[in-house]
Structure 1
């Protein structure tokens, strides 16, 4: 399919595809077949090869060590890295690192960029975004945020309990969402504060056991539970303006949802490639399975839906140039999460016992993709956003020609 991506986007994506096919996937296959993990030293070697091919950190400005692609141009490359279990990590385009790089790039001060962004891009430091809280804290309803930071002179005193903090176990620093004005609405009184791992009072409680986590590298990522107990950091560690945390997070998450969409679309694309290759070779009931109409039609449906998902993501990315594109992003994320889940499930089914075996990456993909309907906003949250938009312009409603409501009587049950 031709998505009319820019010449540069197409060229970089093509080089990334070659790198993934020639270098990354062969190492992934070896790890899956032998059970031997891909070491940290090997990941660093992949980074050097990515640098040599001008592929390293495509989403970051060149002055910080990246390739300087704009948001729309980097998306096709992200789809290519998503085809491998270690693809995003291989070119330093993995979550949450790429999202935190983006946040520091657009909201950080010059000093913050020099001290934290540059080494983060280069892989000398690791970061985590600490927003989600345990029951009854902030999650799908971010207004429920319980974490606080109180100003004491030129320092913040932070008390927070976070979990599902991706890469929190290894993080050298955290971008922590906290309420800094308890009298203001959370949307206006919340800030993001950079907290070094070495600050007194930071406690990494555990890595939360979860579905997925294929473990083919020796780098234990996961999603950590982290406590911040009277942690003191300078006020100058505030990312962006005080009280603007939700606006910054929305900008981070809007783009992050689309990069996730493309990575998972790449995962689904490779899953279909594996399934089609298997169906073409596997014989049963006097013919190859690829000649069975039911399977052919299901593959055709999956190809169609995946094409639609890629198109929606690109449309949402175009809209992000001029607005927050909240509805477009919600639609793209909701649809892509559903399609990639269903596509990978189909690939597993097509491959039968080989689908659930772990000589192929499909079983790992299957475990990983299920979380996509929850992370970066659960399906229900995005449906809520879309529904509010859908009813926003309704001035009147007629039911069976009998009931009519005008603007004065209309009740928006979803309004906050």
Structure 2
């Protein structure tokens, strides 16, 4: 691999870094925020600033109005955007919209793209992805899907309940996963103002960085025209993988920016704060934490760049994205946790951005698959590969 960045990518990285520092970080104290994320007026102001800077929705195709970034290019730009908790919202690369934009580009019909995707790329509307359900429904195991879709004339009628639906409050459209009568799954597109969609409540969550928070949705005889099926009937689980593998990685990219922000804040503090006759950083215990942070940040970045490079080669990367998600979520979390420790009392108050990063990031080890589920999945694949290699050796031995 060539780890050098092209002059164009370095320029885009630096442009994004300046934009975040000058246009976004000053708005972090804006009162138009709540426990459910920035409100719509703040989101629109951030989007307008990114649009004026030529940085809006950089991952979308040029045909749709984006910059058409590759996965490796996204890794560089998304990290810079993630340096502020509002950066992903400004660039229109926040979850779940970033993953939904990718999925729509891959699967949606031309008519669906014009109706939903193009205005979304322009920052004019938001979306949500409705798959996770209360027990006994789908969570880390999507095969437990309970919501149903039944054909009725030219429509499909959807019934079910979803929760932890990021961005549901205020979303303009949803991608809904439902089980068909034959047991397969299908994705459906629906405007959120259709009869039959009920936002029961917003959940009280640790994080407060996602626009619209996390909602509980109920579908009561929601009628969706057959023309609004996303992709083909029965291929919902396959499309979920199209969306989830790259989306896991973009989470890693954005949170790497937040982890770097926490580290930079803590390092600046321990260089200047004195105790017991010298700067804190010169005390071995603190200095070790600074070094460990650097190692974790570098390890996370290498996993991101490598997996992004594989995606750019056309690999599916289900295994690699699981590995990166576990490594990055845990490494970046350690960085933030150490940063809190180095900051002492300031780390557990709003005097610095680190406390907010800490509470926002904790969920990263759970959503898009808990670390334990990814480890379990990886172990199964590794065992299968080992068995396959052993069988191949036996065949070669027999042939000899």
Q: TM-score, normalised by structure 2?
A: 0.91
Q: Which residue does 1:323 correspond to in 2? A: 315
Structure 2 contact 155–225 (Cα < 8 Å) conserved: yes
Q: CA deviation at 1:392?
A: 1.4
1:312 aligns with 2:311: no
Q: 3-state SS of the aligned residue for 2:215? A: strand
Structure 1 contact 3–311 (Cα < 8 Å) conserved: no
Provide the rounded CA distance (Å) in 1 between the counterparts of 2:138 and 2:348.
36
1:262 aligns with 2:253: yes
Provide the rounded CA distance (Å) in 1 between the counterparts of 2:6 and 2:368.
27
Q: CA deviation at 1:361?
A: 1.0
Provide the rounded CA distance (Å) in 2 between the counterparts of 1:263 and 1:168.
21
2:190 pairs, out of 182, 195, 202, with 195
Assess, with a 3 A threshold, how the Cα gap between structure 1 residues 363 and 396 changes in structure 2: closer, same or farther.
same
Provide the rounded CA distance (Å) in 1 between the counterparts of 2:113 and 2:292.
46
Provide the rounded CA distance (Å) in 2 between the counterparts of 1:268 and 1:38.
20
Q: Which residue does 2:67 correspond to in 1? A: 67
Q: Which residue does 1:410 correspond to in 2? A: none
Q: Which residue does 2:397 correspond to in 1? A: none
Provide the rounded CA distance (Å) in 1 between the counterparts of 2:235 and 2:325.
24
Moved more, 56-65 or 164-173: 56-65
Structure 2 contact 270–279 (Cα < 8 Å) conserved: yes
Q: 3-state SS of the aligned residue for 2:263? A: helix
Q: Which residue does 2:172 correspond to in 1? A: 172
1:344 pairs, out of 312, 318, 336, with 336
Q: Which residue does 1:45 correspond to in 2? A: 45
Q: Which residue does 1:96 correspond to in 2? A: 96
Q: Which residue does 1:245 correspond to in 2? A: 236
Q: Which residue does 2:157 correspond to in 1? A: 157
Provide the rounded CA distance (Å) in 1 between the counterparts of 2:155 and 2:38.
41
Q: CA deviation at 1:53?
A: 2.2
Q: 3-state SS of the aligned residue for 2:105? A: helix
Q: 3-state SS of the aligned residue for 1:62? A: coil
Assess, with a 3 A threshold, how the Cα gap between structure 1 residues 42 and 138 changes in structure 2: closer, same or farther.
closer
1:293 pairs, out of 284, 289, 304, with 284
Structure 1 contact 64–118 (Cα < 8 Å) conserved: yes
Q: Which residue does 1:143 correspond to in 2? A: 143
Q: 3-state SS of the aligned residue for 2:84? A: coil
Q: 3-state SS of the aligned residue for 1:8? A: helix
Moved more, 145-154 or 317-326: 317-326
Structure 1 contact 271–362 (Cα < 8 Å) conserved: yes
Provide the rounded CA distance (Å) in 2 between the counterparts of 1:155 and 1:39.
34
Assess, with a 3 A threshold, how the Cα gap between structure 1 residues 281 and 98 changes in structure 2: closer, same or farther.
same
Larger fraction in helix: 2
Provide the rounded CA distance (Å) in 1 between the counterparts of 2:227 and 2:350.
48
Structure 1 contact 200–231 (Cα < 8 Å) conserved: yes
CA deviation profile, 1:1-32 (whole Å, cap 9, x unmatched):
x9424443332222101101122112225669
1:372 pairs, out of 354, 360, 364, with 364
Q: TM-score, normalised by structure 1?
A: 0.88
Please give the root-mean-square deviation of Cα atoms over the aligned residues, in Å. 2.3
- For structure 1, the residue ranges without an aligned partner over 5 or more in a row are 398-405, 408-416
Q: Which residue does 2:384 correspond to in 1? A: 392
Moved more, 219-228 or 274-283: 219-228
Q: CA deviation at 1:124?
A: 2.0
Q: CA deviation at 1:54?
A: 1.6
Assess, with a 3 A threshold, how the Cα gap between structure 1 residues 13 and 257 changes in structure 2: closer, same or farther.
same
How do residues 73-112 of structure 1 correspond to structure 2 at under 5 angstroms?
73-112=73-112
CA deviation profile, 1:169-219 (whole Å, cap 9, x unmatched):
111111001112x334xxxx11110121122111110001111216xxxx9
Q: Which residue does 2:129 correspond to in 1? A: 129
Provide the rounded CA distance (Å) in 2 between the counterparts of 1:159 and 1:44.
33
Provide the rounded CA distance (Å) in 2 between the counterparts of 1:149 and 1:42.
36
Provide the rounded CA distance (Å) in 2 between the counterparts of 1:286 and 1:190.
65
Assess, with a 3 A threshold, how the Cα gap between structure 1 residues 83 and 110 changes in structure 2: closer, same or farther.
same
Q: CA deviation at 1:252?
A: 0.6
How do residues 210-249 of structure 1 correspond to structure 2 at under 5 angstroms?
210-213=205-208, 221-249=212-240
Question: How many pairs were matched up?
Answer: 387
Q: 3-state SS of the aligned residue for 2:233? A: coil
Structure 1 contact 59–67 (Cα < 8 Å) conserved: yes
